[in-house]
A and B are shown apart, each in its own frame.
Chain A
Amino acid sequence: MKFLDRMFEKKARELAQTNGRRGLLKKLGATLVGASAIPLLPVARAAEPKGLPQEVGDPGSCDYWRYCAVDGFLCECCGGSTNSCPPGTEMSPITWIGTCTNPVDGRNYVISYNDCCGKTQCNTCLCQRDEGDRPLYRSDKSNDVNWCLGASSSVYHCSTAIVVGIAFDK
Chain B
Amino acid sequence: MFMKIKPPTKLLTSVIISVLVAGCSTSPEITQEAPAQGSNTHQENAAISTQIDPSLPPLPIEKTGNVEVLPAQYPESWMFVDEASFTSMFGGKVIILDINEPKQSKRIKGTADKNLLGNFAAAKTRPEFYIVESFHSRGSRGPKIDVLAIYDKVTLAPIKEITLEHTRLQSLPRRDAVTLSADEKFLYIANFSPAASFTVVNLDTHEVVDTVGTPGCVLPFPTGKYSVTSLCSNGSLLTTVLDENGIKASQQRVAPFFDTDKTPIFERPAHIDNIAYFPSFEGDVHAIDLSSEIATYQGKWSLVTEQEKAAGWRPGGLALVDTDEQGLMYVIMNPNGFDGSQTHGGEQIWVFDVKTQSRIATIDAPNWAVSVAATRSKEPMLVVSNGEMNLDIINPRTGKLIKTISDFGNITPLVIHKAY
| Total B residues in contact with A, Cβ cutoff 8 Å | 54
Pair B345/A3 contact, Cβ less than 8 Å? yes
Is A58 close to B, CB under 8 A?
no
A138 in contact with B389 given A120-B90, A120-B140, A149-B193 (CB within 8 Å): no
Is B73 close to A, CB under 8 A?
no
**A133 CB contact (under 8 Å) in B1, B136, B217, B340:** B340
Is A165 close to B, CB under 8 A?
no
Is B80 close to A, CB under 8 A?
no
Pair B340/A146 contact, Cβ less than 8 Å? no
Task: For B293, list chain A residues within 8 Å (CB).
Answer: none
**B194 CB contact (under 8 Å) in A1, A129, A149:** A149
User: How long is the Cα–Cα vector from A129 to B89 in the complex, in angstroms?
Assistant: 22
| Total A residues in contact with B, Cβ cutoff 8 Å | 39
The B-contacting residues of A in range 2-45, CB under 8 angstroms, are 2-4, 6-7, 9-10, 13, 17-18
- Return B176 CB to nearest CB of chain A, in Å: 10
The B-contacting residues of A in range 104-133, CB under 8 angstroms, are 118-121, 123, 128-133
- Return B193 CB to nearest CB of chain A, in Å: 6
Pair A130/B136 contact, Cβ less than 8 Å? no
Pair B342/A133 contact, Cβ less than 8 Å? yes
Pair A145/B171 contact, Cβ less than 8 Å? yes
User: How long is the Cα–Cα vector from A4 to B388 in the complex, in angstroms?
Assistant: 9
Pair A130/B90 contact, Cβ less than 8 Å? no
The A-contacting residues of B in range 1-32, CB under 8 angstroms, are 1, 3, 5, 11, 15, 26
Task: For A154, list chain B residues within 8 Å (CB).
Answer: 116, 134, 136, 144, 170
Pair A138/B260 contact, Cβ less than 8 Å? yes
Task: For B218, list chain A residues within 8 Å (CB).
Answer: 136-137, 139
Pair B368/A144 contact, Cβ less than 8 Å? no
User: How long is the Cα–Cα vector from A138 to B388 in the complex, in angstroms?
Assistant: 29
User: How long is the Cα–Cα vector from A97 to B398 in the complex, in angstroms?
Assistant: 44
**A155 CB contact (under 8 Å) in B116, B219, B261:** B116
Pair A136/B134 contact, Cβ less than 8 Å? no
A135 in contact with B388 given A3-B344, A154-B136, A155-B89 (CB within 8 Å): no
- Return A58 CB to nearest CB of chain B, in Å: 20
User: How long is the Cα–Cα vector from A135 to B192 in the complex, in angstroms?
Assistant: 13
Pair B192/A155 contact, Cβ less than 8 Å? no
Which residue from chain A places its CB closest to the CB of B88 in the assembled complex? Answer: A120
- List A residues at the B interface (Cβ < 8 Å): 1-4, 6-7, 9-10, 13, 17-18, 71, 94, 118-121, 123, 128-139, 144-146, 148-149, 153-156
Q: Write 29 A-B pairs (CB below 8 A) sorted by A numbering.
A: A1-B1, A1-B3, A1-B368, A3-B387, A6-B368, A7-B388, A10-B388, A17-B26, A18-B26, A94-B194, A120-B88, A120-B140, A121-B87, A121-B88, A123-B87, A130-B342, A131-B339, A131-B340, A132-B339, A132-B340, A136-B169, A137-B231, A137-B233, A139-B218, A139-B233, A145-B169, A146-B117, A146-B171, A149-B192
